[in-house]
Each structure stands twice: as C-alpha cells, then as structure tokens.
Amino acid sequence: MKLQFSPANPFRLAVEGDEEVTPPLPLYRRYESQGAVRQISFYLSGEIGAPIQYTDLLYTLRTATKTDMILLHLNTPGGNFDTGLQIINNIGASEARVITILEARAYSMGALIFLAGDELIVHDTCQLMFHNYSSSLIGKGNEQQAQVLAISKWFEKVMRHVCKPFLVDDEVERILRGEDIWMDSDEIRRRLAHLQKGEPSVPPQKPKAKKIKAIEGDS
C-alpha cells in the first residue's frame, strides 16, 4: 500500500487502491494577523486654557478607533474647569486606549484629567493636588446665590464621578469644605496598586487596641 498527500486536500491522505482516509486533526492551529497601531501623543504642559484651544485634541479623541493609542503627558497647574471637563468626557467617549502620564505635577483640573485615563502612568518625584474650585461672579445678589448653589452641586457631582474610588468619601468631603489634598508618586502608586487588586485605595485602618492599665491594689 502506498500513501501520498492528496493535492486537492493536504489534510487528507490518498491511498492507492482504497478510499481516502483523514489523518487526526492537529491539537491546535496557529493564525497570525498584523495591524497598524496608531500612537498619538499630546503634551499638556501649561495652564489649561479655553476650550477652543483644544479642538485638535478633542477631535482626535472623538474620531480615534479601537486600534489607536492616545497618550496625554501631563505637567500642568490646572486651569479652566469647562475645558478639563470636556477633555474628560471625550476621553470617556473615545474608542481609543487613552493613557494619562504624570510627568511632573498635575494640580486641580489636571489631577482630574489624570484620573480619567484608561491607564495611568506615574513617573518618579511627581505630585497630584486636589482642591475646591474658584470663580468670580457678577450680577444681582439673588443671581449670584443661585449661581453659587448650581456650580457647587455641579462641582461636587464631577468630583465624585471622576475622583472616586481613587479618593475616598471622606477626602472628597474635605475638599468640598476647602481643604487641599496633596500626593506624591509613592502615595499615588500605592493607591493605584490597591485599586488594581480590587481593594479600597485607602485600606481602612485597624482600630488600635486599647491599653488596659493595671490597677495596683494594696496587698
């Protein structure tokens, strides 16, 4: 009996004088495809200005595809709240993988943009700073009161949506009361590591054991 490969089907063997037989299928098969990944970098290296100055960044985020990677390099003292919020919303809506990279400092709105990334990268000796908003108002007294109330509610909603769970509830409350919260690279990485493990960013402290003083009595 002579065996030979069948040209019509290389996975079948032709047997002279007999019917074709099918050899066992391989345990696995390997397939390979190669696609071009587009990587685009933006550097936010100063104060965040008016939204019109960021249309190129916003358009890129909106039109990017799943095979694109967008890197936002941050070194900013913060700035325009409206612009920062628009950038954050476009990051959330983008199909691309958005990586935010803390390269020196990201204060105020810059800190919120950093937290909005799909992946967060922290260089050594960097800082984040979170604080309450600042603004100036014009108009009649009742209009200013209504505006303060509306903006305060808006800001609180943004803080809870963007900053949690990186910040815990108590920290958000402290910021809303006017406290500034500062973090260095070690603290940022520590919190991110906890979140990656599915743990709270700040593990609850164990209650300290109460010390019981021995009462010496007369013998």
The helix (run of H) or strand (run of E) holding residue 182 is strand 181-184
pLDDT given at position 25: 74
pTM of the model: 0.78
Q: Which pLDDT does position 112 carry in this prediction?
A: 98
Q: Which two tokens stand for residue 93?
A: 């809506």
Nearest to 4 by CA among 151, 14, 12: 14
Write the DSSP symbol of residue 63.
Answer: H
CA atoms within 13 A on the CB side of 105: 10
Residue 88 tokens read as 């954050």
How confident is residue 205, by pLDDT bands cut at 50, 70 and 90?
Answer: confident
Mean pLDDT of the chain: 86
pLDDT higher at 209 or 81: 81
pLDDT in the model for residue 124: 97
- Would the pLDDT of 34 be above 70? no
- Structural domains in the chain, CATH included, are 36-131+180-196 (3.90.226.10)
In the predicted model, is pLDDT for residue 5 greater than 80?
Answer: no
As a whole number, mean pLDDT of residues 31-51 equals 86
